[in-house]
Amino acid sequence: MDMGYIDEFAARLGLQFWPERVPRHVAIVMDGNGRWARRQGLERSAGHRRGVEALENIVIGCRKLGVEYLTVYAFSTENWSRPKAEVGTLMNLLSEFADKKLNRLKENHVRVQVIGDFAGLPLLQRMALKHLMEATAVEDKLVLNLALNYGGRADILQAVKKAAALPPARLQTMTEEDFAGLLQTAGQPEPDLLIRTSGELRLSNFLLWQLAYAEFYFTDTLWPDFDEAELFRAICAYQGRSRRFGALSEE
Ligand code: FPP
């Protein structure tokens, strides 16, 4: 946590920030790259490119605000049905991200992990990501989960298949916590805050199990314009929520 950074944003935005109420895990649906590009009279690919820059800034911002886990929806299982050229652009950006951002991520002690059907990604991207994951494996300030070829239902289904292979006695006594340990986010706290940009009010098959008690924050800002100040606002809004997990409030 970088108190100088926090104080500067709090003063600039006129918001109160509670260091003891920082969400441990933030999940983001990075939406609106295409619309951002169109509004600038650019190709959709330019929007995705700017989207990667926005992601880089948000990773750094999360690190400074004391967030421990950041999960971003970078490519869904449904995204394969986009035009071939756009899928190609996203895949190129992905391998470029893995190669070019390694040093910056390491400097910031960010550990990168992939959730999703890794084997279904093209070989080049698998190799670049494998290197990125291995090279950042020792980092311990922020875990960045890249959701790639990810779908929430597929995640639950693969967990069910693992569960089904367990001895009947273990399956019978399985708790929700045990089951969560079979999901791709095993060992991580559940997201406290879900952010979706660009004014869409949907979950789009993201982290279905894990988001059961997350607070939702929606903004009309398009992803390429979502900057550290926007992140700060989202976290302050989260801090003002009363989380009850189905129980009554303490007040
Ligand atoms: C949604 O915008 C965004 C995506 C489908 C991809 C998100 C990807 C990035 C931010 C960059 C890639 C990330 C890495 C790590 C390389 P959209 O295209 O659906 O926008 P639209 O709704 O305005 O069309």
Ligand 1 center from residue 138 Cα (angstroms): 28
Q: What is the pLDDT of residue 249?
A: 73
pLDDT tens digits along 127-141: 999 999 999 999 999
251 pLDDT exceeds 70? Answer: no
pLDDT for position 244: 78
Residue at token pair 């990773």: 59
Share above pLDDT 70 across residues of the chain, in percent, rounded to a whole number: 99
Q: Judge whether residue 243 has pLDDT over 80.
A: no
What's the rounded mean pLDDT across residues 87-111? Answer: 96
Strand order in the sheet with 215-218: 110-115, 142-150, 69-76, 25-29, 193-196, 215-218
Nearest Cα residue to atom 14 of ligand 1: 94
The whole-chain average pLDDT of the chain stands at: 96
Ligand 1 atom closest to the Cα of residue 73 is: 7
Ligand 1: atom nearest CA of 94 is: 16
Q: What is the pLDDT of residue 246?
A: 78
Q: What pLDDT digit, counting tens, does each position of 75-96 carry?
A: 999 999 999 999 999 999 999 9
Output b/e per residue, 159-180; b: 16+ Cβ within 10 A: beeeeeeeeeeeeeeeeeeeeb
**Distance (Å) from CA 231 to ligand 1 centroid:** 17
Give the number of the atom of ligand 1 that is nearest the alpha carbon of residue 48.
11
**Mean pLDDT in residue range 211-227:** 98
Our answer to whether residue 31 is catalytic in this structure is: yes
Distance set, CA 213 to CA 60, 104, 132, 144, 240 (Å): 25, 32, 31, 20, 16
Residue 248: predicted pLDDT: 79
52 lines ligand 1 (CB under 6 A): yes
The pLDDT of residue 60: 97
| Residue 114: per-residue pLDDT | 98
Give the span between the Cα atoms of 3 and 229, in whole angstroms: 15
Atom of ligand 1 nearest to the CA of 51: 10
30 lines ligand 1 (CB under 6 A): yes
Q: Give the total residue count for the chain.
A: 251
Name 35's Cβ contacts closer than 8 Å, sequence gap at least 6: 47, 198, 222
Residue of 44, 45, 48 best suited for mutating to test ligand 1, as the one with most atoms within 8 Å of CB = 48
State mean pLDDT over 211-225.
98
Write a three-state SS string for the chain.
CCHHHHHHHHHHHCCCCCHHHCCCEEEEECCCHHHHHHHCCCCHHHHHHHHHHHHHHHHHHHHHHCCCEEEEEEEEHHHHHCCHHHHHHHHHHHHHHHHHCHHHHHHCCEEEEEECCHHHCCHHHHHHHHHHHHHHCCCCCEEEEEEEEECHHHHHHHHHHHHHCCCHHHHHCCCHHHHHCCCCCCCCCCCCEEEECCCCCCCCCCCCCCCCCCEEEECCCCHHHCCHHHHHHHHHHHHCCCCCCCCCCCC
Mean pLDDT to the nearest integer, 36-43: 96
Q: Helices 3-13 and 228-239 meet at what angle, rounded to 10? A: 90
Ligand 1 centre distance from Cα of residue 163 (Å): 33
What confidence score (pLDDT) does residue 247 get? 82
Q: Note the pLDDT tens digit of each residue in 47-72.
A: 999 999 999 999 999 999 999 999 99
What's the rounded mean pLDDT across residues 111-117?
Answer: 98
Has 178 been annotated as catalytic? no
Alpha-carbon distance 223 to 50, whole Å? Answer: 9
> In 3D, which of 178, 193, 205, 236 has the Cα closest to residue 71?
193
Cβ–ligand 1 contact at 32 (below 6 Å): yes
